[in-house]
């Protein structure tokens, strides 16, 4: 699948279509009935559905297949963090499920990330599978500098995020998950062809909940995000479909106003 990085020079309709493809809805629900409801509502409004630990433990692989049967694509957000062989084997099974994205914790180390990428590549080639985009989680958006200090990390959040992003890139990962506030630093350190998947976005006036490092969708796109992850503001809206459309409009506004002409290049996408 070929895609074009989000660009201000594209017509407005094309920008909105591109923005919609790059919106990931966090399917943080507790039942298959809710999965069916939200996928039916949003499969034409968002690009991917993020399946996290709670939902996967509740529904197992069945929930992934259910979303796929209804026409949705999956970002499997299980944040694997274990010894290299264990993570690599888990990643292989995720690839066999047909997910479009999956992630591991960058803090698991270079060998864990590299081996996971190598083994998934090998299996996907041998079994003729679509290889999912492999992402590394840097620093959770719920953490700030004080939280890191309590875990023994003395570097500031931005420095730690940049360090882990570079490590992930060196290990061959496709991109990282990071907060909006570190987008510019990662772009500077890792370049334009490194995927940035960004949670922690909220429209102006919305409650931040447990997010501590936040930008609006428009600001995040202007800064250089490739994909935005949005959950509660859409899920809890009176009209989830319209809430998703509003986020897409804000993302498209970011495209219209951005001056990131250097990023206007076509590239082969893994997603």
Indicate the burial class of 127 (C-beta count within 10 angstroms; 0-12, 13-18, 19 or more): exposed
d(CA 236, CA 268): 35
74 forms beta bridges with: 49
- The SS3 call for residue 201 is strand
d(CA 209, CA 236): 13
DSSP 8-state secondary structure symbol assigned to residue 131? P
Q: Tell me the backbone φ, ψ of residue 71, rounded to 5 degrees.
A: 95, 10
Among this protein's residues, is 53 annotated catalytic? no
Could you write out the DSSP letters of every residue in 62-130? HHHHHHHHTT--EEEEEEE-S-HHHHHHHHHHHHHHT-SEEEEEGGG-HHHHHHHHHHHHHHHHHHTPP
Nearest to 211 by CA among 193, 237, 224, 229: 229
d(CA 53, CA 255): 32
C-alpha 10: how far from its chain's center?
23
Catalytic residue among 43, 79, 149, 166: 79
Could you write out the DSSP letters of every residue in 227-238? EEEE-HHHHTSS
Tell me which residues are annotated as active site.
79
């Amino acid at each position: 699948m070929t895609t074009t990085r989000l660009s201000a020079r594209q017509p407005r309709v094309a920008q909105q279509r591109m923005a919609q493809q790059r919106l990931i809805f966090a399917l943080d629900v507790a039942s298959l009935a809710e999965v069916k409801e939200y996928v039916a509502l949003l499969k034409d409004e968002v690009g991917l559905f993020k399946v996290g630990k709670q939902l996967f433990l509740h529904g197992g692989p069945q929930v992934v297949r259910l979303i796929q049967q209804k026409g949705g694509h999956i970002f499997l957000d299980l944040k694997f963090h274990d010894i290299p062989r264990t993570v690599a084997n888990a990643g292989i099974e995720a690839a066999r499920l047909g997910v479009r994205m999956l992630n591991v914790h960058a803090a698991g180390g270079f060998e864990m990330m590299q081996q996971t990428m190598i083994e998934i590549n090998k299996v996907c080639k041998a079994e003729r599978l679509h290889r999912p985009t492999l992402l590394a989680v840097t620093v959770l958006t719920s953490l700030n500098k004080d939280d890191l200090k309590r875990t023994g990390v003395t570097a500031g959040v931005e420095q730690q995020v940049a360090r882990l992003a570079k490590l992930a890139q060196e290990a061959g990962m496709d991109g990282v998950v990071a907060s909006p506030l570190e987008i510019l630093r990662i772009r500077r350190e890792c370049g334009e062809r490194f995927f940035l998947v960004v949670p922690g976005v909220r429209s102006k006036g919305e409650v931040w909940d447990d997010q501590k490092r936040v930008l609006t969708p428009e600001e995040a796109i202007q800064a250089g995000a490739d994909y935005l992850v949005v959950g509660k503001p859409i899920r809890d809206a009176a009209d989830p479909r319209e809430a998703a459309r509003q986020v897409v409009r804000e993302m498209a506004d970011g495209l219209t106003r951005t001056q990131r002409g250097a990023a206007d290049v076509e590239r082969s996408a893994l997603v």
